[in-house]
């Protein structure tokens, strides 16, 4: 795990992408296009991006940043090279599908084969962006499995913070725990309108309770009832899954442990 030397030359033979980029888009070393709307906290100005030729470079481990992009790219290329016959990838908390699209693009570069991409995303606007991002990069979303759901340790509906698309901090760990549910109930009974809350819950699947997507952030969410799927459900249809990517903001602690045996299989 700590020996990175074996990955020193992992990108050898890959040529970083170069070419024209549409106005308002970013591009990475694989040539994957990303609409700047997908990154609202980046502070980037749409008018200053794209609209001309761009030359990219390969990811670096020691570039002075946190090297997250390097580690992500290592996952894409390692999974792609090990795949056989058909590539299957599952992204939990898929956001706008960035990991799926880049992993698919890497696969077609280094080990071309059919693939099935599985996206699980509980925030509705993020979910809609997955299809947009796929189409921007030549992938038909209808050929893959896109699930507008949260991922949890059971199939029971969860309380999930809906809103703040593009921020990437939504999770059902903090909102769906028994103690959190009790806090919402106590607050509505004490300071809210229980009759209106009951109607909203039964008719619109929402508690009406709003909160920041993350403490200290100005981006607000509304706690709603969202369908849930388990890791076991996602693994079940496949004999082999080549790559599971998870970015579910600490919900990993409830999502993975019950299904470790399924993962091993």
Query: For the chain, what percent of residues have pLDDT higher than 90?
Result: 63
For the cut 70, the answer to whether the pLDDT of residue 252 exceeds it is: yes
> pTM (2 decimals)?
0.91
Contacts 24+ apart (CB under 8 A), 239-242: 240/88, 241/88, 241/89, 241/90, 242/79, 242/82, 242/83, 242/87, 242/88, 242/89
Kindly report, residue by residue over 105-125, the tens digit of the pLDDT: 999 999 999 999 999 999 999
| Average pLDDT over all residues of the chain | 91
* 138 phi and psi angles, rounded to 5 deg: 75, 20
Q: What is the mean pLDDT of residues 54-73?
A: 84
The pLDDT confidence band at residue 63, using thresholds 50, 70 and 90, is low
**Which are the contacts of 153, defined by CB distance < 8 A and separation ≥ 6?**
230, 254, 255, 257, 258
Kindly report, residue by residue over 141-189, the tens digit of the pLDDT: 999 999 999 999 999 999 999 988 888 888 888 888 888 889 888 888 8
DSSP 8-state code for residue 48 = G
Give the rounded distance of the alpha carbon of 264 from its chain centre: 23
Sketch out the chain's domains with CATH numbers.
5-153+228-264 (3.40.50), 158-226 (no CATH)
CA distance 27 to 20: 10
DSSP 8-state code for residue 7 = G
Token digits of residue 142: 């209808």
**What are the residues facing 221 on neighbouring strands?**
163, 211
């Amino acid at each position: 795990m700590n020996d990175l030397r074996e990955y020193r030359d992992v990108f050898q033979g890959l040529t970083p992408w170069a070419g024209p980029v549409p106005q308002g888009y970013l591009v990475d070393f694989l040539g994957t296009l990303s609409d700047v709307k997908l990154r609202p906290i980046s502070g980037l100005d749409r008018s200053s991006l794209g609209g001309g030729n761009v030359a990219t470079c390969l990811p670096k481990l020691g570039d002075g940043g946190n090297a997250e992009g390097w580690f992500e790219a290592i996952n894409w290329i390692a999974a792609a090279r090990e795949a056989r016959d058909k590539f299957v990838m599952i992204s939990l908390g898929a956001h706008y599908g960035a990991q799926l699209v880049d992993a698919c693009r890497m696969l077609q570069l280094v080990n071309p084969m059919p693939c099935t991409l599985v996206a699980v995303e509980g925030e509705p606007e993020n979910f809609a962006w997955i299809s947009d991002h796929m189409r921007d990069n030549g992938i038909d979303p209808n050929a893959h499995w896109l699930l507008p759901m949260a991922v949890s340790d059971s199939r029971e509906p969860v309380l999930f913070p809906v809103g703040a698309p593009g921020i990437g901090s939504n999770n059902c760990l903090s909102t769906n725990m028994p103690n959190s549910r009790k806090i919402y109930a106590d607050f509505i009974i004490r300071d809210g309108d229980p009759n209106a809350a009951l109607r909203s819950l039964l008719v619109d699947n929402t508690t009406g309770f709003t909160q920041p997507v993350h403490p200290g952030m100005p981006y607000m969410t509304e706690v709603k009832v969202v369908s849930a799927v388990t890791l076991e459900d996602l693994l079940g249809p496949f004999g082999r899954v080549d790559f599971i990517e998870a970015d579910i903001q600490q919900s990993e602690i409830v999502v993975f442990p019950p299904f470790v045996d399924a993962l091993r299989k």
